[in-house]
Structure 1
Amino acid sequence: MKKKRPMPDVFIILFSFMVLVLLASYIIPAGSYERTTNNGLTQVATDSFQYITAAPLNVMDLFTAIQKGLVAAAPLIFLIMMVGGVLKVIESTGAISAGIHQLISKANGRRNVLIFIFCATFSTLASVGVGANLAIAFIPIGLFLARSMKLDPIVGVAIIFLGSYAGFGAGVFDPTVTVAGQTIAELPLFSGFIYRGVIFIVFLAVTTAYICRYAKRIKQNPAHSVMGADAFDNTEATHEPGALPPFTFAHKLVLLIFAASFVFFLYGGFNFGWGITELSATFLMVGIATALIGRMSPNDFVKRLMNGASEVMYGALVVGVAAAVIVLLRQAQLIDTLVHSVASSLDGHGKIVAMELLYVFNLVFNGLITSGTGQAAIVMPIMVPIGDMLEVTRQATFITFKLGDAVTNIITPLSGTLMACLAIARVSYVEWFKFVLPLVLIWIVIGGAFVGVAVAINYGPF
């Protein structure tokens, strides 16, 4: 029997892109736009493109680009590590788990209410930076709830995983992907949150309704499950969680401080121009406050902080290696050539159609590079000048990237988070594909509508 080849790791894919850039430097002519600075934004002069002479890349350039990419992306890398470390400290207090269990008890077994509570909870967590990876840890609870309601494991996965990505798609106050994209676009961090809040509400409502409709069909006839009527047979990962953990005053205080930190940073960002450095500092202060409330010893706090940072190290390094692709493109002076080529192909389509085409491109690209920050490092330096030449606001360009980054995460087999959740629930990828494909198409249409509106209204900084 022929052994099935595993999916290539994201680092392999990124390095393959680097090799392609190396080869392209011998084939594609270098080019350059003149750039000007207007109101603090670096913009290309639309009619200034010209082909230039540039030396092709060599093997040493290929490998030194990794170091250069890591250095260039250092602020984002360390922010991701800080966020991961602090979230681990918060998680270790039991505040997140206790809060979720409290919500379960309040729902009192009502199916649609439980589905909404779980989707809304994980959507909110993902929209403020509690990464979708956390969903993996809560899949067993989702499975238990699904079984208690006599539903299939797909519902158990969906209320956790899809809930998370409904919030991730909006990224209202996401301190990683939203910050990465807006930093490259030279936008105030977290600006435009009102429009992203609307996106959040729509995605959450549609996702919840989709899961509730599927659950209702199964409730009426278990044979309607894509897994069959006996979906829970021989499933081990559905044991009932232990006794309900107490939701203490300390837990409430920790969650309140975490929520208040975003208000604090927004105030500083809009009034004092705070950026990534201040955001990292804000998270560190939240971590220290959490440690004090949780009565952690200094050594214990540092240990938990480092454990959390180590858990997100993989994703943080993806940002650096993705930045290495841009390092090579810049070194070979191919970015402006790509921008000119894409902009020329979009010429005559109109702003809205052009940005919709960029949105579709990003949907496809996200199927390969599922890391949002890694994708931002590659795509945004190309999309920003294209948006400028189309006279589209930077905020509209960013939302085109953000929505394109989110949707295909729930269906691509290259998503480690998705495959891990399915493995825990013992749901095959084919079964998940059948279940989620209609929702993916709905998300694509909704995302496209939001892109079109953003362009049409000249979606601005706030």
Structure 2
Amino acid sequence: MPDVFIILFAFMVLVLIASYLIPAGTYERSTQGGLTQVDTESFRFIDAAPLNAMDLFTAMHNGLVNASTLVFLILIVGGVLKVIESTGAISAGIYKLLRLAKGRQNVLILIFCTTFATLASVGVGANLAIAFIPIGLFLARSMKLDPVVGVAIIFLGSYAGFGAGVFDPTVTVTGQTIAELPLFSGVLYRAAIFVVFLAITAAYICRYARLVKQDPAASVMGAAAFEGIALDGQPEQNAPFTRTHKWVLALFVFGFGFFLFGAFNHGWGIPQLSATFIMMGIATALIARISPNTFIQRLMSGAREVLYGALVVGVAAAVIVLLRQAQLIDTLVHAVATSLDGHGKIVAMEFLYLFNLVFNGLITSGTGQAAIVMPIMVPIGDMLEVTRQATFITFKLGDAVTNIITPLSGTLMACLAIARVSYVEWFKFVWPLVLLWIVTGGLFVAVAVAIDIGPF
């Protein structure tokens, strides 16, 4: 399958071609209450502005410049989270939970799903699930279950939390910034999404685990699922949960609380969020007695790990740069809004939700997808008289669901490779859950539109 950068470049080429075929158009815009609003009755066609080859390549630079605030935020967050992870606080905390559960199957599944959902919802990216798959396999084997359960409690738990993105400092911040919403606004509604998605996911895994426990032949991998899977190098289960680990995790929680206080009371934005993470990183280094040079090395290591995703944001923004330069965005918005006219707000937003589900199958980077989709969805939502928060929720839910089944997801394929679970086996296991997530997401979209959910 083509790399996401190749897919994005293909989109850029399509925009270049479209600039010669699709008429340019524009809406009149005005600022009302701090939001840029589109005058829905003002659309008109204008002289075409076809692109050339130089426009195609300069758009990459301009896209990175336009998205620089988000790019730097992602690099800083990735670096600081690497510093926190390197202290062992996250893995030690997980093993502490493992010991407290004392082998109770459903309790263990719920604890692990909740733990990784919580981590993903506060920005410890779902990609981190890859590193913890061996722990999931160890747990599944200890309960005499198959590797699918080992992958599911880590990977699906992470994406249940990612779908809500309660305090996600990357995708949620990207989408809300483009929608001109206060950062992390709508937190109570996303918390409800978090609880429902987590409950559905945990119940689904528990049901499957019960069937496999009763009859190993019920496994999608067959009765001998664990044969040939070596867990050498498994992290030590008895790793102590030290006072340092407790302080590091407490600092992480305090740091988020500190930023949220500033965001809701003083209008803090991305620069202050970046600053908060930098302060958390330095404080973590002091607590864990990490030397300055080692701190920088780990910070840079974490930044390197998320560099790919950060650059995806910039290149995705290049697509929007070209669409704006060719003045095609408003033409596309007008065409979509016209096609949705007469369907009613809820039905129209459900169509946008389904569109985003399909689009996410191609662009699995949440931040990259936000950079492309949100500038188009926001004016459509405005024309439908849907609140910006409801439009963002429609994007966020559409961004999450197909990540757990698309073979274009590098995280999914890496997790399956570690566990030696084939994609066909995973598909057989997960497709009913995907349908449940799609329906549940659609209901949350409908409710958000129906209640005119506000910015807070």
User: TM-score, normalization: structure 2?
Assistant: 0.99
Q: Which amino acid aligns with 1:359?
A: Y
Structure 2 CA distance, aligned partners of 1:172 and 1:241? Answer: 29
Q: Secondary structure at the match of 2:41?
A: coil
Whether the 8 Å contact between 1:135 and 1:160 is mirrored in structure 2 is: yes
Structure 1 CA distance, aligned partners of 2:354 and 2:345? Answer: 14
Structure 2 CA distance, aligned partners of 1:90 and 1:249? Answer: 14
Relative to structure 2, which stretch is displaced further, 7-16 or 238-247? 238-247
1:420 aligns with 2:409: no
Q: Secondary structure at the match of 2:42?
A: coil
Give a deviation string over 1:188-246, Cα, whole Å, max 9, x none: 00000000000000000000000000000001111111111111111124775425111
Whether the 8 Å contact between 1:86 and 1:287 is mirrored in structure 2 is: yes
Relative to structure 2, which stretch is displaced further, 248-257 or 168-177? 248-257
1:92 aligns with 2:89: no
1:261 to 255, 266, 275: 255
Structure 1 CA distance, aligned partners of 2:238 and 2:283? Answer: 26
Shift of 1:318: 0.3
Q: Secondary structure at the match of 2:124?
A: coil
Structure 1 CA distance, aligned partners of 2:280 and 2:30? Answer: 39
Q: Secondary structure at the match of 1:25?
A: helix
Q: Compute the RMSD of aligned alpha carbons.
A: 0.8
Whether the 8 Å contact between 2:5 and 2:315 is mirrored in structure 1 is: yes
1:224 aligns with 2:218: yes
Structure 1 CA distance, aligned partners of 2:261 and 2:144? Answer: 47
Q: Which amino acid aligns with 1:133?
A: N
2:153 to 135, 159, 162: 159
1:198 aligns with 2:192: yes
Structure 2 CA distance, aligned partners of 1:330 and 1:315? Answer: 23
In the alignment, what sits opposite 1:328?
322
Structure 1: which 5+ runs fail to align? 1-6
Structure 2 CA distance, aligned partners of 1:377 and 1:45? Answer: 23
Structure 1 CA distance, aligned partners of 2:231 and 2:3? Answer: 27
Within 5 Å, give how 1:372-387 maps onto structure 2: 372-387=366-381
Shift of 1:260: 1.2
In the alignment, what sits opposite 2:135?
141
Whether the 8 Å contact between 1:326 and 1:378 is mirrored in structure 2 is: yes
Whether the 8 Å contact between 1:140 and 1:238 is mirrored in structure 2 is: no
In the alignment, what sits opposite 2:178?
184
Q: Secondary structure at the match of 2:20?
A: coil
Whether the 8 Å contact between 1:141 and 1:238 is mirrored in structure 2 is: no
Whether the 8 Å contact between 1:116 and 1:208 is mirrored in structure 2 is: yes
Give a deviation string over 1:109-131, Cα, whole Å, max 9, x none: 11001000100000000000000
Relative to structure 2, which stretch is displaced further, 236-245 or 54-63? 236-245
Whether the 8 Å contact between 1:181 and 1:376 is mirrored in structure 2 is: yes
Give a deviation string over 1:255-281, Cα, whole Å, max 9, x none: 111011111111111111110000000
Structure 1 CA distance, aligned partners of 2:78 and 2:234? Answer: 28
Structure 2 CA distance, aligned partners of 1:447 and 1:333? Answer: 33
Q: Which amino acid aligns with 2:123?
A: G
Q: Secondary structure at the match of 1:312?
A: helix
Within 5 Å, give how 1:77-88 maps onto structure 2: 77-88=71-82
2:11 to 17, 20, 29: 17
User: TM-score, normalization: structure 1?
Assistant: 0.98
Q: Secondary structure at the match of 1:43?
A: strand
Structure 2 CA distance, aligned partners of 1:55 and 1:278? Answer: 38
In the alignment, what sits opposite 2:333?
339
Q: Secondary structure at the match of 1:167?
A: helix
Give a deviation string over 1:44-99, Cα, whole Å, max 9, x none: 10000000002210111000000000000000000000000000000011100110
Within 5 Å, give how 1:108-127 maps onto structure 2: 108-127=102-121
Structure 2 CA distance, aligned partners of 1:297 and 1:165? Answer: 34
In the alignment, what sits opposite 1:66?
60
Give a deviation string over 1:355-412, Cα, whole Å, max 9, x none: 0000000000000000000000000000000000100000000000000000000000
Whether the 8 Å contact between 2:5 and 2:312 is mirrored in structure 1 is: yes
Q: Which amino acid aligns with 1:339?
A: V
Q: Which amino acid aligns with 1:181?
A: G
Whether the 8 Å contact between 1:144 and 1:238 is mirrored in structure 2 is: no
In the alignment, what sits opposite 1:36?
30
Structure 2 CA distance, aligned partners of 1:12 and 1:150? Answer: 42
Aligned pairs, how many? 456
1:457 to 429, 432, 451: 451
Q: Secondary structure at the match of 2:22?
A: coil
In the alignment, what sits opposite 1:49?
43
Whether the 8 Å contact between 2:112 and 2:157 is mirrored in structure 1 is: yes
Give a deviation string over 1:311-354, Cα, whole Å, max 9, x none: 10000000000000000000000000000000000000000000
2:391 to 372, 388, 397: 397
Whether the 8 Å contact between 2:92 and 2:239 is mirrored in structure 1 is: yes
Q: Which amino acid aligns with 1:354?
A: A
Whether the 8 Å contact between 1:322 and 1:374 is mirrored in structure 2 is: yes
Q: Secondary structure at the match of 1:230?
A: coil
Structure 2 CA distance, aligned partners of 1:103 and 1:208? Answer: 16
